[in-house]
Structure 1
Amino acid sequence: MRRHPMTLHRWEVPARDLRIDLDPQRFPFATTDELADLDEIIGQARAVRAMDFGLQIQGQGYNLYVAGVPSTGRHSLVKAMIAQVAAHQPVPGDWCYVHNFHQPNNPRALRLPAGQGREFQRDMERLIAALKSDLVQVFRSQDYEQQRQALEEDLFKARDHLMKQLKQRAKDYGFQITSSRQGIFATLLFKGEPVKGVPFTAGHQPRSGKGAARQKALHEALHAFFQQVRSIQEQVNQRISELNHQVAVYATTPHFDRLREKYHECPPVLDYLQAVQQDIVEHLEDVLAEPEEVAELAGMESEPARRIMARYAVNVLVDHGQTHGAPLVEEANPTYANLVGRIARETSLGTLYTDFTLIRAGALLRANGGYLLVDVLDLLREPFAWEALKRCLKRQEVKIEDVAEFGGFIPPVGLIPEPIPLQVRVILVGTPALYPLLYAYDEDFRDLFKVKVDFDEQHRRTEDAPLHYGRFIARLCRAEGLRHFEREAVAAVLEQASRWVDHQQQLSLQFGDLADLIREASYWAGREGKPYVARQHVQTAVQQRTYHGNLVEERLRELIAEGTLMVDVAGAVVGQINGLSTYDIGDLTFGMPSRITARVFLGDAGILNIEREVELSEESHSKGVLILSGYLGGRYARDIPLSLSATLCFEQSYAEVEGDSASAAELVALLSALADMPIDQGLALTGSVNQHGELQAISGVNAKIEGFYAVCKTLGLTGQQGVIIPRRNLPHLVLAEEVVEAVESGSFHIYAVSTIDEAMEILMRCPAGALRADGTYPVGSINAAVQERLRYMHERFLTVETAKRQRRAGRSRRSPLL
């Protein structure tokens, strides 16, 4: 079919509409060193309101999930808002662990007012040192020795009296009693003189025969003597113990009374002091003994021996002595131990041991009474950390235990510290994609994190944008010693911020990326020895960053230039069109043309998507191809069935095809094959199409246009090349300056269309043709040619099918009956 000369101006996009409209001369500054530092977060009003709600509301489960991509200022805003709220909140108390004298394996937790934990620790250290000194002095005093000697003298007097009685009774029985260090002995008397031989002792059994009665009486007297002596010894020991107790209480009470007076508002501390005093009185030997003596008594080396006295120490777990307001803790390495805490161990003589002084607090306890900030992805990577955090929040307490005990791998052994009540607001920072996954698959998440804080990636450009971004640049330059920016350079930064979000009226809020651009532009200005950063330095920074990462893009263009990858940018071919794809290789996204071909032939198989058949088609791409059948049927098969077999293929594509942005190009290639009308290969088409033939906006429009322009430039610009885009993508055009200049000079063109008919007219240089009342299209139009071809194919298909049925019927009549 003959191509018609057509004018394309009505679809062409002028150069002024291809980038944002910024006039640096209207900026209220000449350079950024005139501006004050930015002291606010730009474009996050929604996040600010959600944060304020989450930080102010009271109630269990109102923890926060901050959702946003990196570099949007999530951490800065969160910490700034928390600091503002926390400054007006009370400082939480200190937490200490002390020895439990009733259950040594269950250390007690003590809460004291902020700053008093460390003071109480020092008070206890001074107390124990003073008590040891005073007790040693008291128990070595003359008064104590006199009282003790008096008690012992009573014992000696009573024992002497009993011995005197025993000797007299023994003499009456005919025996003489003698005592020595080896014991008490009785010797038989004959005529008042001791008989030589083996002496009689208390252990001898009475002999039989003559004198047995006397010997038995003596034995009973000796037994009674020893019982009486032991009874008196026990009484004296008891009186000495009572004396020691009275003296110890007398000596220690003034010291403890001073602490009781100081900590009278802390009943748990008073209970603990009472237990300490009682334990010291009951273990005077340990307190009074020298370390070497304690080691000897305990059968241990001196280090563990010294730890006998450590039971009176105070382990300050959390100290808020230097904290102002509620604490904010950011845990960068949220392991189980770093979150919950741990029980450390030390070695002695090759053996591990632990006690309450080796218990260490985790981030939850350090943030208790305040706020804990954690990256959710780091948290989920650590074994048991996520489950431990949820358990602590649900139970509102922190129980420090080994991770093996928490996981149930071993039963609880060793220390089991008393749980500490928990009142903390947890702020998880993560990506938007993680939130719905946690909400859907973790039942506890929705109950524990009821506040979602959404950080936007972009915001609408306002008249104040140059000033706000200029102040941001000014703050960064002062903070890092960078060169300040001229107003034209600020405009270039704003243009790049728009390019990152592919929108003329939107600006990127990824200030981390902006900060990198500012640093790099300052570097290039420094290389040239310039005092200020100019527009060309920002452009150089962008170009150099692209050059550092676009090796793959250049290699693909080289393959196209040498003909290995087949892409035509001139001429006209039936059933062949240039589609546009984007490649994302991490920090760089670029566009590249792909040859799309269509073939039609007789049959009723419909449209065959070759990528789908070999499982290289992602769901959205397959959907786009299926939509084509709906469009063809609705437009050309109103009175006849759609008898068509066709194939669509991305030539030389061996990776998965994603998205439906090529559906418009695939449809035009298919219509070209049906109408037998060639497509201009100097043009590329991008856009998705619906069943009514309307073109829909697609993503990556700037990368796709620039990618095709780069290929055309490599192969040679003819002045007739360009890209057709959906009209709905016009607000998204923020093209590179080189492409804009090419359009302005007429060497490259951008066309915007709303329907597939408009795209066909540009690509095939022929009227598409509107549907007439009789259901036909004007003669010579593209749609008429398609309709005519489909009717012909349907008729031919019916003829072939009729002939097949007749042949089958004839064979059936000739077949014999079984």
Structure 2
Amino acid sequence: MEKYRLHADQLTCKIPIEELRFETTEDLTPLYEMIGQERAAKAMEFGLNIKQRGYNIYVAGGWGTGRNTYVRYITNKKILETDAPDDWIYVNNFKNPRTPIAISMKNGQGKKFQKSMSRTIEFIQNEIAEAFISKEYENTKAILRQEYSQKNAAIIDELNVIGRKYNFAFTQTERGLVSIPLKDNKPMSEEEYRKISEAEYEELSRNSNKLTLETVDLFNQLRSEEEIYLNKLDDLDAKMGRKIVEFHFGNLSKKYNDNEAIKNYLVSVIDDIVENIDEFKEEEPSQEKNPLAMLQQQAARKEDFFIRYGVNLFVDNSERDSAPVEFEINPTFYNLIGNIEYKNDYGAWKTDFTQIKPGALHLANGGYLIIQTRDLLTAPYAWKGLKRALINKEVNIENIGKQTGVNAAQTLRPQPIPLDVKVIIVGDFYTYNMLFNYDEEFRKLFKVLVDFDDVVERNRESIVKMARLIASYAEKSNIKYFDKFAVAEIVNYTTRLADNKDKLSAHLNVIVDLIYEADSWASIYGDDVVGKDHVMKALEEQKNRMNRFERKLLENFEDGTYLLDVEGAKVGEINGLAVLGTGIQSFGKPSKITVSTYRGKAGLINIEREANQSGPSHDKGVMILNGYMGYKYAQDKPLTLSASIVFEQLYSGVDGDSASSTELYAILSSLSGVPIDQSLAVTGSVNQRGEIQPIGGVNEKIEGFYEVCKLKGLTGKQGVIIPHQNVKNLMLRGEVVQAVEDGKFHIYAIDHIDQGIELLMKTPAGEKQKNGKFKRGTIHYLVDKKLAELATPIMKRATDGKDQRKKKTTKDEKKPEEKKVEDK
């Protein structure tokens, strides 16, 4: 047994304190980079540098590995190499208001242009209003009115000359120019008109028709003169308004002489103002009964009208010195591609181009957009909208109804904005595989995988980086410095989390929590520096907060509710080990495994499987045992065995193949009749050739059995048998290591089932001799003998059947010869 026994120094991996060449983390330069993950860092660097289409980045890794922190760090570092992108504005499209125009401007010009435009419109409003009440304007308008009046009067005189021929006169009324019949060369009164005879009325009608025919050209001339007059007034207004508008916008246009889109927009603004010059004039005094209400309505109408000359500063990069990094925490469809908002105006929903709001893609344009995969895929249509934007290289703001095929109302269709962004989505590797296999567009758009490992190499460099990382939290989170003993304990803890002596866990969030809690305990004890005792206290308290189920379990072992022997020897019974977990805490649970064997053809019966409490991995492990039994013992006889295997007092189900070697030992004990030492517990899987294979959770399994043995009393004979490959995973608690060192507890590492047989049954396993038989007295000999006994009745029946068939064949062969003799 001694050759399989592990020494205390093989059960853990501690840092030699002399290798830590600092007293506290105050002596170290803080670290703000990753620890290890060189492969992921290279992939990220490549993904950020390549500019070709489709090379967006998927960052995969386990929780707490520092994925998000690193992505933010590296992108914020990378943007310093890139200038800030352009601003974007939306302006009114005067030809088609439903399609607002998107214009890009140099960084910082958007805000200036918005202010300049607002100020210019205000100046123009005031100047135009003053210009149209000026003496110059009134004089010019009076001249035009006088010219029109003179021409109008001359035409009316001609009309009156013709009208007198037919006893009519023309006069100007509120209804316009009307003809009035004459009597004695005087306009006929209303009373006189009603008293005329029928004959007079008919004559009056005939004259009126003749007058109409004769004066039609003069009336047309009147209308033409009025139209000419009104056109002259419009030309006067337009000329005066254009002079003012072109002066102001001419100066504004010169400032943006290198932006053709702005120049074209200002030209359209000038034309629209001239076309709507009346809106800039002062309103005539209202004659309404409620002048205040009328003024309010006029102000609201004016405000709605002048929105058309506003500027929607859609993306403002004036405060940026470099490219943007946007971390979208709620990547819904609208939060990604933008939205058109609506205003409630007395029960009616209204919108305009100033209500177009940017999405994360717009804000990140020219830089980097970081999204969590889970949030993206759970938001309806967000993933589809993102892919469409990346494929088309532009962001088209639209109603979500367009995605669903529903005919949703939408009053605006803004011009799409060209897209130049590197999208980084952060998720797990399972989701990456799912998208890669089932979404063809994902493969085209996210060609760079940055895969974070759960562990990193444990070497001098990574240990120093871990210490520097702790120093960085002292700096940025204002916590105490850690001495080198505390750092060593944290490094040992991360090695245990990694489940490998040569590795450190990359789950930094767990480490950070430990740092904060150790600092808190140092404050409670009134110490200025965090030491080893504070780290140990933090770990102890973490466990105490989550170990309610573990304590209940140990109580059940202590009071005998759970049956488990840690002394003596029994046939067909063995102590197996499993791992249970709550949150980040996990613990070992010993279980009694029993086996019953008997003659039959059912093979190995997994009772857990029959009760639907066994997972596929455990079922596979039991099937492998069948292969081992056939390989080892059924080369010269049929395997006529039925064996039922059960985890006693296990009601929550079982999975994994780590108990397959344990179950095999119990089967061999039951068949051979040799008892198993109950002071030993076993873990490890086995293959069909009897080779022991590594398992997970080895530290928790060992410590779980140790706790039960401690409750029942340590005898100095108890211990655990583990696969030899798991020695590198051992990072046991100090108490267990000390118990091994003191000879109170033992751990054995084996690589073959035969070695476990010798340890558990105190009898050699046995090897096949030249005659193909096992050496007498060994376990394999006893098992083989038992299986031969079980198979004897079946083999005898098979032999008897064969003999009978042979006799029948011989008898049938003799019949023709006998017949021939009789014939003779």
TM-score (ref. length: structure 2) = 0.93
Number of residue-to-residue matches in the alignment: 798
Kindly provide the amino acid, as one letter, of the partner of residue 28 in structure 2: L
* Kept in 1: contact 2:279–2:302 (CA 8 A): no
1:22 corresponds, among 15, 20, 31, to: 15
For 1:276-675, what aligned pairs fall within 5 Å after superposition?
276-289=269-282, 302-303=299-300, 305-411=302-408, 413-675=410-672
Report the alpha carbon displacement of residue 796 of structure 1 after superposing the two structures with TM: 3.3
For 1:88-237, what aligned pairs fall within 5 Å after superposition?
88-181=81-174, 184-190=178-184, 214-221=207-214, 223-237=216-230
The SS at the match of 1:400 is: coil
* Kept in 2: contact 1:643–1:793 (CA 8 A): yes
Aligned to 1:5: none
1:716 and 1:736 map into 2 onto residues whose CA distance is: 19
Structure 1 residues 430, 174: CA separation in 2 closer, same or farther (over 3 Å shift)? closer
Kindly provide the amino acid, as one letter, of the partner of residue 33 in structure 1: E
Structure 1 residues 791, 159: CA separation in 2 closer, same or farther (over 3 Å shift)? same
Aligned to 1:241: 234
* Kept in 1: contact 2:128–2:241 (CA 8 A): yes
Report the alpha carbon displacement of residue 77 of structure 1 after superposing the two structures with TM: 1.6
1:298 and 1:266 map into 2 onto residues whose CA distance is: 40
* Kept in 2: contact 1:295–1:302 (CA 8 A): no
Residue 256 in structure 1 maps to residue 249 in structure 2: yes
- Spell out, residue by residue over 1:383-408, the C-alpha distance to the aligned partner (whole angstroms, 9 max, x if none): 11111111111111111122233322
Aligned to 1:687: 684
Report the alpha carbon displacement of residue 212 of structure 1 after superposing the two structures with TM: 6.6
Structure 1 residues 199, 372: CA separation in 2 closer, same or farther (over 3 Å shift)? farther
1:339 and 1:609 map into 2 onto residues whose CA distance is: 53
The SS at the match of 1:429 is: strand
Report the alpha carbon displacement of residue 274 of structure 1 after superposing the two structures with TM: 1.0
Report the alpha carbon displacement of residue 544 of structure 1 after superposing the two structures with TM: 0.9
Mean alpha-carbon deviation: is it higher for 32-41 or for 354-363?
A: 32-41
2:188 and 2:361 map into 1 onto residues whose CA distance is: 87
- Spell out, residue by residue over 1:265-297, the C-alpha distance to the aligned partner (whole angstroms, 9 max, x if none): 111111111111111111112222459989999
- Spell out, residue by residue over 1:44-94, the C-alpha distance to the aligned partner (whole angstroms, 9 max, x if none): 111110001000112111000001112222122212221222211132111
Report the alpha carbon displacement of residue 213 of structure 1 after superposing the two structures with TM: 5.7
Aligned to 2:263: 270
Mean alpha-carbon deviation: is it higher for 657-666 or for 69-78?
A: 69-78
Residue 701 in structure 1 maps to residue 694 in structure 2: no
2:643 and 2:358 map into 1 onto residues whose CA distance is: 69
1:341 and 1:533 map into 2 onto residues whose CA distance is: 49
Structure 1 residues 209, 313: CA separation in 2 closer, same or farther (over 3 Å shift)? closer
1:722 and 1:193 map into 2 onto residues whose CA distance is: 139
Structure 1 residues 291, 497: CA separation in 2 closer, same or farther (over 3 Å shift)? farther
Residue 734 in structure 1 maps to residue 731 in structure 2: yes
1:580 and 1:209 map into 2 onto residues whose CA distance is: 126
Report the alpha carbon displacement of residue 551 of structure 1 after superposing the two structures with TM: 0.4
Mean alpha-carbon deviation: is it higher for 18-27 or for 795-804?
A: 795-804
Kindly provide the amino acid, as one letter, of the partner of residue 337 in structure 1: Y
The SS at the match of 1:640 is: coil
2:33 and 2:186 map into 1 onto residues whose CA distance is: 115
Kindly provide the amino acid, as one letter, of the partner of residue 255 in structure 1: H
The SS at the match of 1:42 is: coil
Report the alpha carbon displacement of residue 497 of structure 1 after superposing the two structures with TM: 0.6
1:614 and 1:291 map into 2 onto residues whose CA distance is: 93
1:431 and 1:603 map into 2 onto residues whose CA distance is: 49
Kindly provide the amino acid, as one letter, of the partner of residue 387 in structure 1: K
Aligned to 1:814: none
The SS at the match of 2:429 is: coil
Structure 1 residues 30, 445: CA separation in 2 closer, same or farther (over 3 Å shift)? same
Aligned to 2:818: none
* Kept in 2: contact 1:291–1:302 (CA 8 A): no
Structure 1 residues 100, 535: CA separation in 2 closer, same or farther (over 3 Å shift)? same
Kindly provide the amino acid, as one letter, of the partner of residue 578 in structure 1: N
Kindly provide the amino acid, as one letter, of the partner of residue 180 in structure 2: A
* Kept in 2: contact 1:304–1:348 (CA 8 A): no
Structure 1 residues 803, 614: CA separation in 2 closer, same or farther (over 3 Å shift)? farther
Q: Structure 1, unaligned stretches of length 5 or more? A: 1-7, 808-818
Report the alpha carbon displacement of residue 340 of structure 1 after superposing the two structures with TM: 1.2
Aligned to 2:38: 45
* Kept in 2: contact 1:13–1:750 (CA 8 A): yes
Report the alpha carbon displacement of residue 221 of structure 1 after superposing the two structures with TM: 4.5
Mean alpha-carbon deviation: is it higher for 749-758 or for 163-172?
A: 163-172
Mean alpha-carbon deviation: is it higher for 371-380 or for 766-775?
A: 766-775
* Kept in 1: contact 2:695–2:726 (CA 8 A): yes
The SS at the match of 1:789 is: helix
1:772 and 1:291 map into 2 onto residues whose CA distance is: 123
The SS at the match of 1:624 is: helix
* Kept in 1: contact 2:660–2:686 (CA 8 A): yes
Q: Structure 2, unaligned stretches of length 5 or more? A: 805-824
Kindly provide the amino acid, as one letter, of the partner of residue 753 in structure 2: I
The SS at the match of 2:460 is: coil
Mean alpha-carbon deviation: is it higher for 504-513 or for 295-304?
A: 295-304
Structure 1 residues 791, 715: CA separation in 2 closer, same or farther (over 3 Å shift)? same
Mean alpha-carbon deviation: is it higher for 436-445 or for 687-696?
A: 436-445
Kindly provide the amino acid, as one letter, of the partner of residue 104 in structure 1: P
Mean alpha-carbon deviation: is it higher for 632-641 or for 207-216?
A: 207-216
For 1:654-803, what aligned pairs fall within 5 Å after superposition?
654-799=651-796
2:54 corresponds, among 37, 56, 61, to: 61
Residue 35 in structure 1 maps to residue 32 in structure 2: no
Mean alpha-carbon deviation: is it higher for 468-477 or for 217-226?
A: 217-226
1:226 and 1:260 map into 2 onto residues whose CA distance is: 48
The SS at the match of 1:433 is: helix
What is the identity percentage for the equivalent residue pairs of Structure 1 and Structure 2?
39
- Spell out, residue by residue over 1:418-460, the C-alpha distance to the aligned partner (whole angstroms, 9 max, x if none): 1111111000011122111111122211111100001111111
* Kept in 1: contact 2:399–2:408 (CA 8 A): no
* Kept in 1: contact 2:14–2:488 (CA 8 A): no
For the aligned residue pairs, the C-alpha RMSD in angstroms reads 2.6
* Kept in 1: contact 2:595–2:646 (CA 8 A): yes
Mean alpha-carbon deviation: is it higher for 733-742 or for 464-473?
A: 464-473
Kindly provide the amino acid, as one letter, of the partner of residue 514 in structure 1: I
* Kept in 1: contact 2:336–2:386 (CA 8 A): yes
Kindly provide the amino acid, as one letter, of the partner of residue 10 in structure 2: D
* Kept in 2: contact 1:602–1:797 (CA 8 A): no
The SS at the match of 2:81 is: coil
* Kept in 2: contact 1:603–1:797 (CA 8 A): no
Report the alpha carbon displacement of residue 803 of structure 1 after superposing the two structures with TM: 9.1
Structure 1 residues 308, 298: CA separation in 2 closer, same or farther (over 3 Å shift)? farther
- Spell out, residue by residue over 1:462-491, the C-alpha distance to the aligned partner (whole angstroms, 9 max, x if none): 123332211111111222222211211111
TM-score (ref. length: structure 1) = 0.93
Report the alpha carbon displacement of residue 175 of structure 1 after superposing the two structures with TM: 4.2
1:43 and 1:215 map into 2 onto residues whose CA distance is: 107
